[in-house]
Structure 1
């Protein structure tokens, strides 16, 4: 029996045996197992298996962290034990049936926005690169000044940086229809209708140069460029309406009647009811966010930087994608990203301290790669594999995140995009902020590292946990 086959067998047994496993899938780093009874899982036994970097139950799935490359090989071995393999989307659908109403709602929110994040990441990188190439100091290296940049070049950069936000409602409506069982192309068209050139542009209205169209004397109708909630709510209702209409319409008329009625009803509701209400709600959420971020003495950085990774553990952190999108649209920058990167870096710093201090070869082999993963912006291996296991390193990581967040807040650090942090996140701070960004990360890492080294971990603590 090969080593990977042995590991696969041990994981199956620790997950309650073949009879307890309904299906299995994997993502880039984790084996995702849907089980019939989570009480039969022996999590401690899983975490003692070679190559396992951590394990936890969340979102209706038992997730075993194995790391990139390794997870693919272990998954192949697991399937050899006559277990049902499914893709990640199918497993999510099974898992979606589990959990309470709030958990299912947050999971659906994440499923809608996760596929959109890559284009927003790319847009943020384009913003950072544009900020870099138009800096007077950078241009001076080539004997140029900002006046030498052609208007055509600036127009090209606007295409790169503005397109995703202009058509964001289309992306949101498309993804929402997909998640809630509608026809994605119908959702896409509904979203495009919300940003139709025939409507007053939302940015022009916000700037005061254009007036919204007033229906019935009191309903303001505008385009919803860069807006999220109206498209999200319209997408949910539209997907359910489409399924209801399809069930009522004869099959011979389905192709004509279903999309026609869905789009007619939903664009009417979206423009005259859903849009005005939820666009106003977005404004309230944004105002509250800006108020918190503007707290004096770096209080917002301490709060957000210190608590962010606790939110990550709960699995509801995807809901903050809405805030980051709104910040980028309103400010053209993202101060929230600058704070949370400190919380991510700090967890990596705490894990690095454990890895360097321990004499356990197994723990060292787990902690050091996990810390590097955190420095790339992925904290789950560090949190679930090391820091939460010993508790104190996690707490020291929270303190380090608060320290880095404090500096980010008082220095006014702001990213040009979202969804990437620490080392990859440097690309969001090329517009004269790079040195402050590096300093914030170093403060977070150093604080968490030193506190963990001095007070957060000892090998005696590991022995006690093993004995317990």
Structure 2
């Protein structure tokens, strides 16, 4: 699809919603998210007739137009390039979010952190499903083989495809949290990698009594292990780390 087509789609969406009806505009992985002044002015049927629009719904004060992964980025880019006043409306999104109740704001913040890593998790889920099918005893017997006959190199590659995202999940969460809360994403990624550093005892192995792997004791009483599979710890570290970075930047600029 040509850039001109994305501009046409974006302009049609803006026209149907009403430019003067838009309070703010942004997007997530699949949806164009528009804060509007008057929901009743929008004709859902008309918007759903626009090319590439797969559906619409209204939630938490936002009118959301479903366009799909990849398409929404290009449509949003076309909108702000065509009309720079939309960039100013996008910059106001955080202010609008503050007006919502704390629960909705918290849920939306979590969604913003995790939505950027969902494609990686979804792809891994597909690989897990494929692995389950390929290694199924009935499927293997149909081809006259068994799991033991599969080369170790192939099994290793399958494990890489299905385990990598979950092994480094804290790093991905820290990266996304830093990006969301205003820090430098690569700094968040490095901190996340530290949480699952191979120099630390693997959390899964420590939990396995038969592995004989023990946590490192700091100061004789603080157990230290890796944070494999830990979501909450990575999220908290990402939030605190980004805020610390922002505060440090402000101090450094004054020196």
TM-score normalized by structure 1? Answer: 0.44
Which residue number in structure 2 is paired with residue 279 of structure 1? none
Partner of 1:176: 177
Secondary structure of 1:119 counterpart = helix
| Aligned position for 1:213 | 216
Change in 2 beyond 3 A, CA 1:165/1:75: closer
How do 1:101-116 residues align onto structure 2 when only pairs under 5 Å count? 101-116=102-117
Tell me the residue number matched to 1:46: 43
Q: Out of 233, 236, 243, which is 2:236 matched to?
A: 233
How far did 1:216 drift?
3.3
Alignment of 1:49-448 (within 5 A): 49=46, 51=48, 54-58=56-60, 60-64=61-65, 84-86=85-87, 92-93=93-94, 95-208=96-209, 209=211, 210-250=213-253
Alignment CA distance shift 1:202-1:28 (3 Å):
closer
Aligned with 1:22: secondary structure?
A: strand
Give the Å deviation of 1:181.
0.6
Which ranges in structure 1 are unaligned for 5 or more consecutive residues? 253-468
Q: Structure 1 residues 7 and 158 mapped into 2: Cα distance closer, same or farther (>3 Å)?
A: closer
CA distance in 1, matches of 2:219, 2:77: 62
C-alpha displacement at 1:134, in angstroms?
A: 1.7
1:11 maps to 17
Q: Is the 2:29–2:116 Cα contact (8 Å) retained in structure 1?
A: no
Contact 2:29/2:115 (8 A) holds in 1: no
| Cα pair distance change 1:10/1:120, threshold 3 Å | closer
1:170/1:189 contact within 8 Å kept? yes
Change (3 A) 1:181 1:5: closer
Of residues 65-74 and 112-121 in structure 1, the stretch that sits farther from structure 2 once superposed is 65-74
Over residues 325-369 of structure 1, what are the superposed CA-to-partner deviations in whole Å (9 max), with x where a residue is unaligned? xxxxxxxxxxxxxxxxxxxxxxxxxxxxxxxxxxxxxxxxxxxxx
Which protein is richer in strand relative to its size? 2
Question: What is the deviation of 1:68?
Answer: 9.2
Q: Using a 3 Å threshold, how does the CA distance of structure 1 residues 22 and 189 change in structure 2: closer, same or farther?
A: same
d(CA) in 1 for partners of 2:230, 2:81: 47
Q: Deviations over 1:255-298 (max 9, x none)?
A: xxxxxxxxxxxxxxxxxxxxxxxxxxxxxxxxxxxxxxxxxxxx
Structure with more helix by fraction:
1
- Structure with higher Rg: it is 1
Unaligned ranges ≥5, structure 2? 1-7, 50-54
> Which residue matches 1:451?
none
Question: Residue 85 of structure 1: SS of its match in structure 2?
Answer: helix
State how far apart, in whole Å, the 2-side matches of 1:187 and 1:69 are: 25
Provide closer, same or farther for how the CA distance between residues 118 and 244 of structure 1 changes in structure 2, counting only shifts above 3 A.
same
CA separation of 1:227 and 1:88: change in aligned 2, threshold 3 A: farther
Q: Equivalents in 2 of 1:69, 1:179: separation in Å?
A: 20
Structure 1 Cα separation of the partners of residues 240 and 93 of structure 2: 21
Distance 1:74 1:119 in 2: 22
Deviations 1:43-102 (A, max 9, x none): 5x52354636544142x4333567899989998998899683349975754543331222
Distance across 2 between alignment mates of 1:70 and 1:159: 30
Deviations 1:379-433 (A, max 9, x none): xxxxxxxxxxxxxxxxxxxxxxxxxxxxxxxxxxxxxxxxxxxxxxxxxxxxxxx
- C-alpha deviation, 1:27, in angstroms: 6.1
Deviation at 1:122, TM superposition (A): 1.4
Q: Work out the number of aligned pairs and report it.
A: 241
